[in-house]
Amino acid sequence: MIRALIAALFSILAACGDRQSEVVAPQPETTAAAAVDAARLLAADDDTANWLSYGRTYSEQRYSPLKQVNTDSVAGLGLAWSFDFNTQRGIEATSLVIDGVMYTTSSWSIVHALDARTGEHLWTYDPEVDREKIKHGCCDAVNRGVAAWKGQVFVGVFDGRLVALDAATGKVNWSIDTVDSALPYTITGAPRVIDGKVLIGNGGAEFGVRGFLSAYDVDSGDMIWRFYTVPGNPELGFENDAMKMAAETWNGQWWELGGGGGTVWDAMAYDPELDLLYIGVGNGTPWNREIRSPGGGDNLFLSSIVALRPDSGEYVWHYQTTPGETWDYTATQHIILADMELGGEVRKVLMQAPKNGFFYVLDRASGELISANNYTNVTWATHVDMETGRPVEVDGARYIDSPFVVTPSYLGGHNWHPMSYSPDTGLVYIPVLDFPAAYGQPEDFLYRPGTANTGTSGVVGSLPDSQAERDAMRPLMQGRLLAWNPRTQEEAWRVEHNGPWNGGTLATAGNLVFQGTADGKFAAFTANTGERLWDFGTQTGVVAAPMTYEIDGEQYLSVAAGWGGAYALVFGEYVQAESLPNVSRVLTFKLGADGQLPEVDWRPSVVFNPPPRTASEDAEEAGFALYQDTCMGCHGLNAVSGLLVPDLRGSGLIHDADSWDKVVREGILAKRGMASFADYLDREQSEAIRAYIIREAHRGKQLQEARAAASAAR
Ligand code: CA
């Protein structure tokens, strides 16, 4: 009956600050590798040849003053070199380039150093993450890149380590655990370095952790400070006054549910003049506030932007984008700082387009809300009230008494894919997601440590039974490149893509915006009007953001290609039909180059050969509920895989109960990333999931045959 409900649910279904172009960037004193120091990072904007940190500058604008590649010349852009990652998991890194060397990462937190001119391999560091750890990853074995400082490269490892590498050799200088490794923390985000401190957060709020950001000494790896984002058990005392204040906004015993969530898994930015570090904070554990904090409350600092002193981790101010967050509306999305003329004065602003669908412009000295407007379809709130700074929610959106279909979905109107800002056009370029998700109050909720604890019924069910209804949802699954004017809080232009989950963006002084797409293109658009001027077939979906650099007077554009991440894993139903293989590599372009990629002669597909259905309908139905809670995050909604991991409906394992159980509960494929689920499933439950997969395999086989027949008849 849950399924009928769920089926019903889804069927409803410029010119800011003058650029001081005369300023000459500090140059390294030696030819040492990764010779990045405070002076170079502070002057990074003028250091046009290099890309020194994740968002290029502390302001994280992802704007490059390079303009050799521009609207007139971009047609001559071609592939200069490529470097194969040899992985089939997602690729999300923004590469750094420092004095001719590229430092980038692939899945499982593997770091590569390459000659940025030729792509020649210099070294690789593999932290050898235990593949079983993937069971604590909501969103693929991804990594978004490294930070560099005085001859070292820092990587946050998926299992919670922070590792300092010798930038010249890739050898480990030090390695520390930043988390209690018994808990379901993961790291996917890029570290940042401020004045000799390397900053790193973590993820895991779906599974049950208490979020924090830590600062470590770059030389020793000693922890200097740690800022928790949510309060712990008040009886144990608070770490600081900010936690005491935050605790007044919580109810119940949230610390018993894994720790409250609020992980800092991606965004950071820094204003050196104000000496403020800005971090984005994620969702609660579980998502559903009714369960997490019975009786309500804003639940600080979930879904907030928090300003801290980078020396001490001291709290300065916060702005909460989604008070009492209950939809997985993180505020971890990319933060951009700019100086912007507003109402006749130049304001130091902070901009964010968090998951909740509203674009925020804040005064970054005070945290005051300057303006907010929805940048995509929003159904959970009508607007942000400028008096209170709070969203005005739509009745019923909290899905307490009855289910509610909400846009944006739990993947947000914008996810981790970085946006960019061009001071030339004054526009922000956002990779927008636009599709709904159904949320419902669960009939009961049992916190299960280490598994996804959303506390909702609708999300874990999702797709309708009927194929016609699933197909009818396809047009709702939208994604676009949106150019947004932050001064007027209005759209400037948009380019609709073939679906959601397209890449991050890069803006350049060549009046160009670069973006890779889910359907396997790396494209250039005019920054002022959105005209598509150039693209290159990447043979794989691109989700990472491009970057650019210059060597010997030649401008290079580079992107880490490789399909993956949460949408790619979960939404197999909509991914699979157009599925591109995952071919993960760095692709680097320059004018006049004409490199070709080797042919790809395969496309992922599912071969159905299911055994007969012998289980009871009740067992199949029980298996469905267990599958959606336990397996769906990697193997896809309703057993339709995004094909980054095996589609279970085509697996030979479903023919034999013992073999199946050896994988599911004994963990014999743990080294390949299929952890044992013996802690969560008994033999009967494992067998029920097998029965459900067999049912879905028959369904898939019939559908495939019907489609083949229809295509033959055409
Ligand atoms: Ca989340």
CATH code (residue 652): 1.10.760.10
Confidence class for position 695, pLDDT limits 50, 70, 90: very high
**Mean pLDDT, residues 308-334 taken together:** 98
Catalytic site residue 159? no
- Domain assignment present for residue 686? The answer is yes
CA of 328 to the centre of ligand 1 (A): 5
- Domain assignment present for residue 429? The answer is no
Q: According to the model, what pLDDT value does residue 142 have?
A: 98
- Domain assignment present for residue 372? The answer is no
Query: What is the DSSP track for 88-103?
Result: -S---PPPEEETTEEE
CA of 70 to the centre of ligand 1 (A): 38
Q: According to the model, what pLDDT value does residue 30 have?
A: 54
Q: Where are the beta strands (DSSP E) in 34-135?
A: 63-64, 77-84, 96-98, 101-106, 110-115, 121-125
- Identify the residue whose tokens are 């930043």: 178
Summary mean pLDDT of the chain: 93
CA of 188 to the centre of ligand 1 (A): 13
Q: Which helix (H) or strand (E) holds 620?
A: helix 617-630
Please check the confidence at residue 75 and state whether its pLDDT lies above 90: yes
Question: What are 307's two structure tokens?
Answer: 């300003």
Q: Where are the beta strands (DSSP E) in 353-477?
A: 358-363, 369-374, 381-384, 391-393, 404-406, 420-422, 427-434, 437-439
Number of domains, the chain: 1
Q: According to the model, what pLDDT value does residue 27 have?
A: 61
Give the pLDDT confidence of 123-164 residue by residue, as tens digits: 999 999 999 999 999 999 999 999 999 999 999 999 999 999
CA of 330 to the centre of ligand 1 (A): 6
Give the pLDDT confidence of 425-453 residue by residue, as tens digits: 999 999 999 999 989 998 888 888 888 88
Residue 176: count of CB within 10 angstroms of its CB = 16
Please check the confidence at residue 628 and state whether its pLDDT lies above 90: no
- Domain assignment present for residue 649? The answer is yes
Q: According to the model, what pLDDT value does residue 481 have?
A: 98
Q: According to the model, what pLDDT value does residue 15 have?
A: 34
**Mean pLDDT, residues 501-509 taken together:** 98
Q: According to the model, what pLDDT value does residue 28 have?
A: 57
Distance CA 326, CA 233 (A): 21
Query: Closest Cα partner for 613 from 701, 523, 703, 708?
Result: 701
Distance CA 516, CA 520 (A): 7
Q: According to the model, what pLDDT value does residue 25 have?
A: 66
Domain that holds residue 649: 617-713
- Domain assignment present for residue 183? The answer is no
Length of the chain: 714
- Domain assignment present for residue 692? The answer is yes
Cα→Cα distances 183→211, 404, 653, Å? 12, 32, 30
- Domain assignment present for residue 633? The answer is yes
What 672-678 contacts at long range (C-beta under 8 Å, 24+ apart), as own/partner pairs, is 672/131, 673/131, 673/132, 673/134, 673/141, 673/645, 675/132, 675/133, 675/134, 675/135, 676/132, 677/135, 677/630
Please list the residues that pair with 558 across neighbouring strands. 547, 588
Choose the catalytic residue: 328, 424, 629, 661: 328
Question: What are 611's two structure tokens?
Answer: 């055994």
Distance CA 177, CA 604 (A): 37
Q: Which residue has the higher pLDDT, 626 or 325?
A: 325
Please check the confidence at residue 24 and state whether its pLDDT lies above 90: no
Cα→Cα distances 313→57, 229, 306, Å? 21, 11, 11
Give the pLDDT confidence of 639-662 residue by residue, as tens digits: 999 988 999 999 999 999 999 999
Query: CB under 8 Å to 660, separation ≥6 — which residues?
Result: 653, 654, 686, 687, 690
Give the pLDDT confidence of 562-610 residue by residue, as tens digits: 999 999 999 999 988 776 888 999 999 999 999 999 998 777 789 999 9
Helix (H) and strand (E) counts in the chain: 12, 37
Please check the confidence at residue 9 and state whether its pLDDT lies above 50: no
CB burial of residue 68 (10 Å; 0-12, 13-18, 19+):
middle
CA of 368 to the centre of ligand 1 (A): 26
Lowest mean pLDDT among 264-273, 442-451, 697-706: 442-451
Give the pLDDT confidence of 219-243 residue by residue, as tens digits: 999 999 999 999 999 999 999 999 9
* pTM (global) more than 0.75: yes
Lowest mean pLDDT among 285-294, 455-464, 519-528, 565-574: 455-464
Q: Which residue has the higher pLDDT, 229 or 7?
A: 229
Query: CB under 8 Å to 574, separation ≥6 — which residues?
Result: 473, 474, 477, 499
CA of 710 to the centre of ligand 1 (A): 40
Give the pLDDT confidence of 513-532 residue by residue, as tens digits: 999 999 999 999 999 999 99
- Domain assignment present for residue 637? The answer is yes
Cα→Cα distances 123→100, 102, 115, 147, 167, Å? 14, 11, 10, 16, 9
